[in-house]
Structure 1
Amino acid sequence: MAQLRAIMADEEQRQASYEAGHERIRFCGYCHGEDGNSKRDYIPNLAAQHPQYLFNQFEKFGDGTREDYVMSQLAKTLTLEERINIAIYFGMQTAKPRPSTDAARVEAGRSLFKIRCAGCHGLDAQGFQDMPRLAGQPSEYLGIALNRFKQMDPTKHSTPMIGIASVLSEEDIQSLAAYLTTR
């Protein structure tokens, strides 16, 4: 983390890391898009995520705290420098929101977000440091993630999202996803 912070604080190092990250993300781009905007609705966007958040997720995939068939294997093959460079590269990309055709659902999601989510993820869902950006995420991915939190056993996992998601109805989840994908 200290190395990541030092690179982020120095413009020249950050640019060099960005360029090295761009070279290394070729494989990542197949799923997450070369610019960090996923082409598939069930895969998250990495564009504009805070580098600290992305780096920490690599660490969680690498140590088994977080599991995904592809990411768990991939994270173990990357060096520390590569994980930092990729996090910086994607963090410097621009997130591209997606349209929604259901204005009523978007509005319901906006209200729900302000009550349930804005305290941690920011008023505009931009996230910060180790809190993920939700703005512009694909709606299907958001639904999958919220349902995963709902199903987690609080005796085995320690995330405040278990309590937040546990009270959400399927309609709430769809509304939040519709709102956030347009941000």
Structure 2
Amino acid sequence: MIIIGLAAAPVVSASPADDAMSQLNAIMADDAKRQASYEAGHERIRFCGYCHGEDGNSKREYIPNLAAQHPLYLFNQFEKFRDGTREDYVMSKLAKTLSLEERINIAVYYSQQTAKPRTGSDPTKADAGAKLFAVRCAGCHGDKAQGFRDMPRLAGQPAEYLGIALKRFKEMDPTKHSTPMIGVAGVLSEVQIEALTSYLTRQ
């Protein structure tokens, strides 16, 4: 009876993604492991720092900040670049050269950095953007745009990058992509996009 029971029982094995999530959760829950991962990530981000900054605050207005993003979100973006879900000339190649451990460590390192708000946006537009954000965006990204787990932090992102991202979502074919951002961005006018980016970049 024991043999039959074992043979009939389904074999459940964790996927590589599940294994990675388990490792990441274990690291973030343990101070010593998190510090070791942080230090290893710091050693590995030298190339990343040319664009995203050593402290995760972007050096270019069209490139996103990585500082203070949730490590799960950062890791998931690596996976999307690796499998082709997201495409970028640099990131798609880079993601495929990094080991699982390196991807985890980089995610941990940047998640522990402090995001810095940008300056120079129009205060009047920012006020309008704050109201729009509260209605359209806060439900997923948080009332302060801090993000949560696999929802990205938008606070402090470069306005140019945010504008590019929103316009890209507007142009996506909903029959080929399933992100809810298509519906959110699809109804935004150019003026509303400028207002949102002016607000978010100052946070």
Stretches of structure 1 that go unaligned for 5 or more consecutive residues are none
* Counterpart residue number, 1:80: 100
Say which SS state the counterpart of residue 125 (structure 1) adopts.
Answer: coil
* Counterpart residue number, 1:172: 192
Letter in 2 for 1:178: S
CA distance in 1, matches of 2:153, 2:45: 20
Asked if 1:97 corresponds to 2:117, the answer is yes
Asked if 1:15 corresponds to 2:39, the answer is no
Asked if 1:111 corresponds to 2:148, the answer is no
CA distance in 1, matches of 2:78, 2:172: 21
* Counterpart residue number, 2:50: 30
Q: CA RMSD in A?
A: 0.5
* Counterpart residue number, 1:4: 24
* Counterpart residue number, 1:148: 168
Identity across the alignment (%): 77
Aligned length: 183
Letter in 2 for 1:55: F
* Counterpart residue number, 1:54: 74
Q: How big is each residue's C-alpha offset from its partner over 1:16-51, in whole Å with a ceiling of 9 and x where there is no partner?
A: 000000000000000000000001000000000000
Stretches of structure 2 that go unaligned for 5 or more consecutive residues are 1-20
TM-score (norm 1): 0.99
Letter in 1 for 2:101: E
Say which SS state the counterpart of residue 12 (structure 1) adopts.
Answer: helix
* Larger Rg belongs to: 2
Letter in 2 for 1:21: G
* Counterpart residue number, 1:122: 142
How far residue 88 of structure 1 moved from its aligned partner, in angstroms, is 0.3
Runs of 4+ in 1 over 6 A off after TM superposition: none
Q: How big is each residue's C-alpha offset from its partner over 1:126-158, in whole Å with a ceiling of 9 and x where there is no partner?
A: 001000000000000000000000000000001
CA distance in 2, matches of 1:102, 1:138: 13
Say which SS state the counterpart of residue 72 (structure 1) adopts.
Answer: helix
Tell whether the 8 Å contact from 1:100 to 1:106 is kept in structure 2 after alignment: no
